Amino acid sequence: MAADPAVIEDACLSPLLEEGFEAKSFAAATMQNQMVGDTLQKLAIGIAALDKELYSQVVTNYEDLLSQATGIEALEGVLKMMHTRIESLRTAVDRIGSKVIDPYQVIVSRTRQLSRLQNVCDLLRKVIRMLYLLKRLKSQLQGGTREITKVAQTFSEIDQLSGSGDLSGVVILEEEGVWLARARREVESQAKKMLMQGLELMNSSQVGVALQVFHNLTQLPSSLLTILTGYKEAIQHDIQNSLDPSSLVLSSNGSGPGRASLPLVGTTASWKAVLWTRLDQLVVSVQKAYGQVHQLHTVLVKKRDPHTQVSFLDNINGTPAHHLLTNFWEVITEDLGVELVAAAKASIVMNQAFETDYPKLVKIFSELLVRIEQFATPETPPSSLYNINPPSSSSSSGGQTGSTYEAALLKALSPFEKSYVSRSLSRLFDSVNQLFVPGARATPTKDTLQSTIRTITRYIVPLDYC
């Protein structure tokens, strides 16, 4: 319905059409302006016009208004019916809920009880199994080393059972905990002793039993590293003792402890003899240690996990213990090079011996390469013995790997090679120059030729070992 133009245009009544109209503010403003009479008159006129307009709209839209009123009555009836049905549905839902909630709560409670019973049963099964394993372990321990692999297998089952769930707080098991730890230490000690004895006697069967024990105890990689470290330290100690200048002087002079840093006059030959003898003994020690490490490697290749049929060597793949021979040889040659340089710096006489008799030094350690060839087997042929590179490079030929193996050893001796070669060339050139003196027309004498040949033989033939 459109607003009356007279009301819109009238400044006095226009506030009535504003959105934020307030009756109190309008009345106060009218009284303040002393326009009460005029305003009331205008309001009366506006009300009359509004009544007239409403009457006109009702008359004009009578049919529509009547149909709308009828529709409203029908809608009220529908709403009342829906309200009744909704109330009925709510009542039914409440009734069903009362029948479902109680059984649901009972089911939840029973399910919780069943879950707890299952946990208790599982724990009891583990406890019973653990007690059985402990009883079996005590019986097996009475068999000594004959039953040591079975003992280790029982320990493996105990570890698996302990790792499958929390058994802490079970008093009967905690009481056996101290005894179990002590028994484990005893088995580990026996296995280590058996392994060392088997390696010392080169007994593959004994070594295999010890490795099986460590495998069952899940300590194979760490045990191998411990054994390998022991060999490395022993060889390093032998190298240091063999190259100790003070002890060499005492041995060559035949004197007791005291101040001695240089060999006595006239005893240099005996001093060198002691040095070469010690180096020969060092080669024997390295050969023996290498043979034991090789024996360990061979058994690791042959021995297999009874469940997966995977060799022990493949089982420890990815660990530092996997490359036993590689690690051993690299460390030994590196230590040898370091100790040789240190000994040469500590003793001028020893440095001269290494530089002057470099071919003899090379010959001694080249003998080591010959000695370790005896350990070649179908599992570890000479090419694999010589291979000091990771297995990824094993596709190379045996000659290449052999030269690499030998190069690692010669690298340890290389600090003395340059001095020896320089000195040898100087002596050779001097000898040759004596044959062809500038300006001399005479033919060299027989003695001069023989002297030159002896010099060449002295410095050329030993190079076959280099």
Sign of the four-CA dihedral 430, 431, 433, 434: positive
CA 333, chain centre distance (Å): 27
- With beta carbons less than 8 A apart as the criterion, state whether 243 and 337 touch: no
- The confidence score (pLDDT) of residue 413 equals 85
In a shared domain, residues 135 and 263: no
In a shared domain, residues 83 and 52: no
- The confidence score (pLDDT) of residue 25 equals 79
Most confident of 245-254, 290-299, 322-331, 442-451: 290-299
Q: How confident is the model at residue 116 (pLDDT cuts 50, 70, 90)?
A: very high
H helices present in 257-356, as ranges: 268-302, 312-315, 324-346, 348-356
- The confidence score (pLDDT) of residue 280 equals 92
- The confidence score (pLDDT) of residue 366 equals 86
pTM over 0.75: no
Q: Which of 151, 318, 325 is nearest to 221 (CA)?
A: 318
Half-sphere exposure of 286 (CA within 13 A, CB side): 28
In a shared domain, residues 52 and 99: no
Most confident of 49-53, 89-93, 253-257, 260-264: 89-93
Helix, strand, or coil (residue 311): strand
**Rounded distance, CA 141 to CA 454, Å?**
72
- Please report where in the chains the tokens 């470099």 appear, as a residue: 358
- The confidence score (pLDDT) of residue 26 equals 77
- With beta carbons less than 8 A apart as the criterion, state whether 458 and 357 touch: no
Q: Above 90 in pLDDT, residue 236?
A: yes
- The confidence score (pLDDT) of residue 270 equals 80
In a shared domain, residues 364 and 410: yes
Q: How confident is the model at residue 362 (pLDDT cuts 50, 70, 90)?
A: confident
| Domain region containing 293 | 219-421
Q: Above 70 in pLDDT, residue 6?
A: no
Tens digit of each residue's pLDDT (9 = 90 or more) over 59-72: 888 888 888 888 88
Q: How many domains does the chain have?
A: 3
Tens digit of each residue's pLDDT (9 = 90 or more) over 255-313: 444 444 455 545 677 888 888 999 999 999 999 999 999 999 989 988 888 888 888 88
Report the run of H or E that residue 441 belongs to, with start and end.
none
- The confidence score (pLDDT) of residue 253 equals 55
Query: Is residue 443 a part of any domain in this protein?
Result: no
Over the chain, what is the mean pLDDT? Answer: 79
In a shared domain, residues 417 and 288: yes
Q: How confident is the model at residue 387 (pLDDT cuts 50, 70, 90)?
A: very low
**Rounded distance, CA 291 to CA 417, Å?**
29
Amino acid in position 151: V
DSSP assignment letter at 464: G
In a shared domain, residues 390 and 285: yes
Query: Is residue 208 a part of any domain in this protein?
Result: no
**Rounded distance, CA 317 to CA 319, Å?**
6
Bridge partner list, 304: 311
In a shared domain, residues 237 and 142: no
Query: Is residue 256 a part of any domain in this protein?
Result: yes
- The confidence score (pLDDT) of residue 193 equals 92
In a shared domain, residues 51 and 70: no
